């Protein structure tokens, strides 16, 4: 059941993105940016929390979950450290993903050759 809820939630979030790509002229890069900001705003409004409770990884794996993590991390740091938490929290919570993407990106670029498009 947990996996089904996860599948549906993740699927719906991706479907919204697909509809935006097909129906409007928004490029995938803008969609990613839009979804991250939406994740932050929905986190702030308390709307992303129930989505997370229902879909678990279906809500955290899409890029909107990255925005949600940024916001959650900021709030957690504010509660723990006060004002300075506003600046440290977001990146701290998402540091693993960002650092991993940079590191694996660099290694991948070292070992593979560019493809001719």
Considering only residues 2 to 41 of the shown chain, the ones binding another protein according to CB under 8 A are 2-3, 6-15, 17-23, 28-29, 31-33, 35-37, 39-41
Q: CA triplet 86, 89, 95: central angle to 5 degrees?
A: 145
Binding-site size for another protein (CB under 8 A) equals 76
Report, in Å, the least distance between residue 53 CB and another protein.
13
> Taking CB under 8 A as the criterion, which residues in 56-115 touch another protein?
56-58, 60-67, 69-71, 73-75, 78, 83, 85-87, 89-91, 96-98, 100-102, 104-115
Cβ 100 to another protein shortest distance, Å: 4
Q: Least distance in Å: CB of 62 to another protein?
A: 5
CB 76 → another protein: shortest distance, Å?
10
Instruction: List C-alpha distances in Å: 61 to 14, 31, 68, 77, 78.
Output: 11, 15, 11, 22, 24
- In the chain, what is the greatest distance between 2 CA atoms, to the nearest angstrom? 51
User: From CA 45, how far away is CA 116, in angstroms rounded?
Assistant: 45
* Cα(76)–Cα(57) distance, integer angstroms: 20
């Amino acid at each position: 059941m947990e996996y089904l809820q996860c599948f549906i939630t993740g699927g719906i979030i991706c479907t919204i993105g697909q509809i935006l790509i097909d129906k409007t002229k928004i490029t995938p890069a803008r969609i990613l940016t839009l979804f991250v900001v939406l994740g932050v705003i929905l986190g702030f409004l308390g709307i992303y929390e129930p989505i997370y409770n229902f879909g678990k990884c279906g809500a955290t794996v899409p890029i909107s979950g990255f925005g949600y993590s940024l916001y959650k991390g900021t709030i957690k740091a504010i509660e723990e450290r006060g004002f300075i938490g506003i600046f440290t929290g977001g990146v701290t919570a998402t540091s693993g993903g960002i650092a991993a993407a940079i590191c694996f990106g660099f290694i991948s670029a070292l070992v593979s050759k560019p493809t001719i498009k």
